[in-house]
Amino acid sequence: MTYAANLLVEGITSQYLAVIKPRRLAGSWSLISGTKYYQLFDYGEITKLEANATEKTKATSSALSDGIWYYDSLEEKLYFDDGYNPATKNIVLTYEIYTGTFDAHWYRNPLDSTGRIVYYEPIIISSPKINASASESLFGYLPVQSSNITLSNAVHVLEKHLYDSSFYLCDVVIYHYLDKLTIANTKKVFSGLCTKISYDDKQIMLSLYDRLGIFDKEYRNVTGNSFYAYSEFSDLDPAYEGRPIRNVYGIVEGFPPVNIDYVADVDTPTVNDNRRYICIADETNLGSVQSSVPASPSSTTTRTYLNSANGFRVGDSVWFDKASDEYKIITNVNKTGNNYIEHPALSVACAVGNIAKRSFIGNITIYKEDVVYRPLFGRDYTEYTDATNKVVGFDLSTSLETNLGMPSALSASDAIYCRIYGHKNTVTLGAAPFGLDSGETGNLTQAIVVLFDMLKTYTSIAEDDIDLTTFSSLQSSIADEIGFAVPEFSRNDFPIMKDVVNNILKTLLLKIFPNNDLKWTIKQTAPLGSVDKSIEDDEILLNSFKYEFDYNDIISDAILEYAGREYSEKHQASRDYSRVTKTSAVTKYLHKIDRQKTFKSLHFKLSEAQTLVDRLNYALSERQGICKLSTKNRFFDILLGDNVKISRSRMPGFEYDGNILREREFAIISTAKSLDDIELELIDQKGIEDNLLSW
């Protein structure tokens, strides 16, 4: 039988295997010859060797070359050759300790029959309870965590490890097997880290936590430098020395560029000063677009037809590349049927083959002496790329002041802000492209694709550790487009990845968590849909069923701020947003609650922001109905977000009749799994289900 089939068998034997992987400094070395050394090591199978934090390559035998190591598990001997005496460096060894709730001779990796067989000491006396929960039921991180593993100290197996080996943040992997120990009957159910050890004469307890720590890493640019410095930009605005070089996803308004041609006001700048500005990191795959003019229909001086209007938006500055170049700001765009853009009158209408260009810098606004000036792309500014420092921005022309009628030369204190389009989509899932550029903006804006790229590119998560099927499926069904800068403000430090990812999760009402295969997966808060699991009355452990109704977090009015701008149109240097609202009259009349709550999203489109605020209001304008129960081990594979149908003779909302089973569906929001039982916490999503047809 398989693990999944065994879960359905009543009263089946259930056991854990745990592999603990501490680190230890290497002991004394003995010279073999040349630069080849060895030492005895009887603590366990060595899986990694690092010399001054640099990981070295493992060989397949004791015949070594420079930079290679080998561990002979039969002789318990470590061989190493790195071209020097290893005693001159800090050599750290990661090794394995094998434990279980039952003694077993089994493979080092319980799921790989090609490895050698080791002995799992039967010293786990208190089996770990693997918990999954979240403080927020609508979106966010749903961590998997286990409070501890308690090991018997009766045979003193671990005592020689504890003093000099480091267990801090060492890997701990737990496997669950049912019935007889076979690969088919075994599943990896936890992969986490040790944070603390408690010891006494009877037992040793390891405190564990999950791998959400990978999201605590600060964001860094993938290419080039992450911070401005005088060494790279000798004429840098001094206010930006050591500040982050920002990046943009989707589209961001009110974005202040960084002056790298800085001349202070006291130096009386000329039209040759304060000309070059940097906007974002990575000079490749820019979000600029262009399209040619077709033969038909014929363009007019105020309407230019294009083969494609994708990426052009109202407010963009467009360069019309034709016999006599002209420059205008778009006033209207049509992307259906005959594609066209409208603009102030050209001196001569565009002809077939002419090209309309829009930079990744969609527009620029200059605020000088209480007057607003709007430079035009191609005439007043052009793109500037720096392939050495991996940055991109723009150059202002020396005729800027004359063209715009400015009273004096641009100074360092004159404020400039831009509309910035982020990079085009280069994300791949496996070997295939993942997602398309937006028809609205011509670059990468689809939130699911951005989230996937964040996980794969900016954290230590490998693609193999991501649930690719779920991401691919949701990419087809969730089309929301987003725009944001990292950092959010120009004077902010880089955020941790958890904050960046969480902002995307909030925008989509997504949860992220490790699934039953310990791959990072996502699930959207939505009406319950089809049932994943059914729990019958006789599968609920005695006296464990509870149903709680919480009215504390009900709101009547949801307010959503979206399309954030660091600078407002009035040039106020504070975060400015567009806003949409949704009110529930039922909440005010039924619950007698009149309460507002403001949320933020990364949307830049009104229609998508309105959908989100509607859904937030549906979910939060009703009480939270939380069900708690304990059930049997056949539900060990239950997942966060699963739709579970519970059948009982007694259920709130139904008149009692002992002859009839009452049914209600819930979404799983918390689990605690042990060898003895499964504790579940579920939410009835009343507000969502009551508004099912409007969702």
655 pLDDT band, cuts 50/70/90, is confident
Give yes or no: residues 196 and 306 share one domain. no
Q: Which tokens in the block code for residue 329?
A: 């700001």
> Collapsing DSSP states into helix, strand and coil, what is residue 125?
strand
Read off the pLDDT of residues 626-637 as tens digits, 9 standing for 90 and up.
999 999 888 988
8 A C-beta contact, residue 252 and residue 419: yes
Q: Which amino acid makes up residue 439?
A: G
Read off the pLDDT of residues 34-87 as tens digits, 9 standing for 90 and up.
999 999 999 999 999 999 989 999 998 888 777 799 999 999 999 999 889 999
Give yes or no: residues 298 and 163 share one domain. no
Most confident option among 149-153, 419-423, 428-432 = 419-423
- Dist. CA 535–CA 627, nearest whole Å: 13
- Alpha-carbon distances, residue 630 vs 534, 543, 646 (angstroms): 14, 9, 12
Give yes or no: residues 332 and 194 share one domain. no
Parallel, antiparallel or unpaired: strands 77-81 and 68-72: antiparallel
Read off the pLDDT of residues 262-302 as tens digits, 9 standing for 90 and up.
999 888 889 999 999 999 999 999 999 999 999 999 999 99
Least confident interval from 135-144, 171-180, 388-397, 432-441: 135-144
Give yes or no: residues 206 and 315 share one domain. no
Average pLDDT over residues 489-517: 92
**pLDDT reported for residue 657:** 86
- Dist. CA 484–CA 434, nearest whole Å: 20
Q: Would you list the DSSP string of 295-308?
A: SSSPP-SSEEE-S-
Residue (of 438, 388, 428) closest to 287 by Cα position:
438
**pLDDT reported for residue 641:** 86
- What percent of the chain stands above pLDDT 70? 97
Query: pLDDT at residue 546 above 90?
Result: yes
Give yes or no: residues 3 and 141 share one domain. yes
385 pLDDT band, cuts 50/70/90, is very high
- Dist. CA 472–CA 433, nearest whole Å: 11
Read off the pLDDT of residues 342-353 as tens digits, 9 standing for 90 and up.
999 999 999 999
Is residue 489 domain-resident?
no
CB under 8 Å to 482, separation ≥6 — which residues? 249, 250, 445, 447, 450, 504, 507, 601, 602, 603, 604
Query: pLDDT at residue 568 above 70?
Result: no
Is residue 45 domain-resident?
yes
8 A C-beta contact, residue 450 and residue 482: yes
143 pLDDT band, cuts 50/70/90, is low
CB atoms within 10 A of CB 492: 14
Q: What is the DSSP code (8-state) at residue 159? A: H
- Dist. CA 296–CA 290, nearest whole Å: 18
- Dist. CA 495–CA 222, nearest whole Å: 15
Least confident interval from 452-466, 560-574, 589-603, 674-688: 560-574
Give yes or no: residues 294 and 206 share one domain. no
Query: pLDDT at residue 500 above 60?
Result: yes
Query: Which 3-state string (H, E, C) describes 93-112?
Result: EEECEEEECCCEEEECCCCC
**pLDDT reported for residue 216:** 84
Give yes or no: residues 530 and 646 share one domain. yes
- Alpha-carbon distances, residue 458 vs 216, 222, 314 (angstroms): 11, 7, 33
Residue with the larger pLDDT of the pair 586 and 184: 184
Residue (of 675, 629, 628) closest to 190 by Cα position:
675
Number of domains in the chain: 3
Give yes or no: residues 203 and 322 share one domain. no
Phi, psi of 492 (to 5 degrees): -80, 160
Give yes or no: residues 171 and 309 share one domain. no
Residue where the block lists tokens 């564990």: 208
Q: What is the CATH number of the domain that holds 307?
A: 2.40.30
Q: Which residues pair with 30 in a beta bridge?
A: 38
**pTM of the entire structure?**
0.86
Q: Which helix (H) or strand (E) holds 56?
A: none
- Dist. CA 603–CA 193, nearest whole Å: 36
Is residue 545 domain-resident?
yes
Give yes or no: residues 203 and 300 share one domain. no
Query: pLDDT at residue 572 above 70?
Result: no
- Alpha-carbon distances, residue 22 vs 19, 48, 257, 386, 522 (angstroms): 10, 11, 48, 45, 31
Residue range(s) defining the domain that contains residue 532: 525-551+623-695
Q: What is the CATH number of the domain that holds 645?
A: 2.40.10
Query: pLDDT at residue 512 above 80?
Result: yes
144 pLDDT band, cuts 50/70/90, is low
Give yes or no: residues 205 and 63 share one domain. yes
- Alpha-carbon distances, residue 302 vs 336, 348, 351, 686 (angstroms): 18, 10, 13, 53
Q: Which of 306, 325, 358 is the last residue of a domain?
A: 358
Q: Which of 324, 343, 358 is the last residue of a domain?
A: 358
Is residue 15 domain-resident?
yes
Average pLDDT over residues 537-543: 94
Query: pLDDT at residue 137 above 70?
Result: no
> Collapsing DSSP states into helix, strand and coil, what is residue 588?
helix
Give yes or no: residues 168 and 298 share one domain. no
Is residue 384 domain-resident?
no
**pLDDT reported for residue 114:** 93
Is residue 578 domain-resident?
no
CB atoms within 10 A of CB 435: 23
Is residue 219 domain-resident?
no
Query: pLDDT at residue 135 above 80?
Result: no
Residue with the larger pLDDT of the pair 673 and 134: 673
With b for 16 or more beta-carbon neighbours within 10 A and e for fewer, the 206-223 pattern comes to bebbbbbeebeeebbbee
Is residue 684 domain-resident?
yes
- Dist. CA 237–CA 245, nearest whole Å: 13
How high is the mean pLDDT of the chain? Answer: 93
**pLDDT reported for residue 575:** 65
**pLDDT reported for residue 141:** 64
Q: Which of 327, 358, 389 is the last residue of a domain?
A: 358
146 pLDDT band, cuts 50/70/90, is low
